[in-house]
Structure 1
Amino acid sequence: MNTTEILVRCEGAARTYGTGATAVVAVHGATCEIRSGDRIAITGPSGSGKSTLLHLLAGLEAPTTGRVTWPGLTGKPAPDTVGVVFQGPSLVPALDVVENTALPLVLSGKQEASARRRALDCLALVAAAHLADKLPEELSGGQAQRVAVARVLAAAPRLILADEPTGQLDRATGRRVVDVLLAAADTLGAGLVVTTHDPRVARRLSRQWSMHDGRLQAGPDAFSPPAPATAQGAAP
């Protein structure tokens, strides 16, 4: 496992919604790198730009200025390379819990029976296997969030981005979900980024970044430009 491989790089990435006097800058020129061994917590108040930054990292939104690249991933981000645990509802209403969890695998061409087995295993990891045949409308907010985590784990991505994954959970269940995310990142050799309001969650990740008014404060180790090429024949 290469724990220093750069999975995603932001270079002055900004995101603005609207134009003119009504324009809102959600993210101001974020510059950072996320590597395969990183365990990063991003803290900050609601409306500080944390979710928008995660969407930029996932390739779900394009930066208005600057750029986001994925040097350690093959091609454009996909469910098997970047997995996102969204803060809001994200389950497909017409599918039951196990079908929702297996969906990324089915879409990638896996056989339905194999995808279902993998989905049930991942649901068990987040203590949600007993919900397998329920529809999203039958779930509490916390239960739906656990299923969303299981769906990401089922796809075995290289980069896991979790937006307030414990926000609707009680303390014990939230602790278990963080345990699962950390263990999955270790097993997969994946990078892990978690946004959170909870300092207890933030302290469980080895690096802490913060956002305020759309500005990322990531510390001096958040970005290291590529080393200059060595002269031909020189020692690396």
Structure 2
Amino acid sequence: MSADETLATCSETLVTCRDAALAFGRGAQAVVAVHGANLKIRAGDRLAVVGPSGSGKSSLLYLLAGLERPISGDVTWTGSLGAYDIGLVFQGDSLIPALSVLENACLPLVLAGRTETEAQEAARAALDRVGVVDLAERLPEEISGGQAQRAAAARVLAQAPRLILADEPTGRLDHATGARVLDALLTAADHTGAALVVTTHDPAVAARLTVRRSMRAGRLLTPEETP
């Protein structure tokens, strides 16, 4: 069995990387962030991508999400996977400053055509799951960084996407709060059958996902190379 086939859990492949590479800058100044990654993500997969800061974990997630295009190789998505079927929890601040926490959580649902009532119900339920529903009417500048991270996770959970990509979702949170956010991501993925990919440098977080792959200096290690 090849390295990129070890994540087989369900029949439908959602996204495939074949020798996908990503670089920033040009010429002699170019920095290669991902070297020839090979990976398949199937519905129901639970994957932790582990590595230190700067190892290329975030860049790999951006390739999987379609936010960056590979400079070589390719990334392909199943034809049944729509734009709103992919939810990305960013590592840094990602809430829209002019919108309340609730409005931020509602936005992807409204853009996808849900009614305001449906969007608010789903958003409030997601905010409650990560413990920030009491902050629903506040602006991002009125909450802490950790609370903003939880609200950003809720925005993705409210979408009920088929592929959840979470970039260090517990990195700015204390242990108990981080565990709650990870619980919510895992529960949401279990409920919908979504694939969940989490980047992390925390072994305790990685241990809660079924499959672990390591990144070192932009290279996605094979399962045999992963500690």
TM-score (norm 1): 0.89
Aligned twin of 2:112: 108
Q: What is the DSSP-based 3-state SS (H/G/I as helix, E as strand, rest coil) of the residue aligned with 2:83?
A: coil
Match of 2:178 among 163, 166, 174: 174
Matched, 1:163 2:167: yes
1:131-142 aligned at under 5 Å gives the runs: 131-142=135-146
Counting only pairs closer than 5 Å after superposition, residues 1-236 of structure 1 correspond to structure 2 as: 3-71=10-78, 73-74=79-80, 77-79=82-84, 81-219=85-223
Instruction: Give, in angstroms, the shift of residue 3 of structure 1.
Output: 2.2
Once residues 135 and 10 of structure 2 are traced to their aligned partners in structure 1, the CA distance between those partners, rounded to angstroms, is 35
Unaligned runs of 5+ in 1: 221-236
C-alpha displacement of 1:64: 0.7
Q: Secondary structure at the match of 1:115?
A: helix
- What RMSD over aligned residues (CA atoms) do the two structures have, in Å? 1.4
Distance in 2 (CA, whole Å) between partners of 1:168 and 1:41 is 17
Q: Deviations over 1:83-108 (max 9, x none)?
A: 00000110010000000000000011
Cα separation, 2, equivalents of 1:4 and 1:198: 30
Q: By how many angstroms is 1:74 displaced?
A: 2.1
Q: Is the 8 A contact 1:3 1:189 kept in 2?
A: no
Code of the residue aligned with 2:165 in structure 1: it is L
Residues 98 and 119 in structure 1, CA contact (< 8 A), matched pair in contact too: yes
Gaps of 5+ in 2: 1-8
Q: What per-residue deviation string (whole Å, max 9, x for no partner) do you get for residues 44-81 of structure 1?
A: 0111100000000001111111100012x525x512x1
Give the count of matched residue pairs: 217
Q: TM-score, normalised by structure 2?
A: 0.93
Residue 218 to residue 82, structure 1, CA distance change in 2 (3 Å): farther
**Aligned residue number for residue 6 of structure 2:** none
Of 107-116 and 53-62, the range deviating more from structure 2: 107-116
- Greater gyration radius: 1
Question: Which residue identity does 1:143 align to in structure 2?
Answer: Q
Deviation at 1:218, TM superposition (A): 3.4
**Bigger fraction of residues in helix:** 2
Task: Note the C-alpha offset of 1:121.
Answer: 0.6
Runs in 1 of length 4+ with deviation above 3 angstroms? none
- Looking at structure 1, the residues matched to 166 and 60 of structure 2 have their Cα atoms a distance apart, in angstroms, of 12
Letter in 1 for 2:53: S
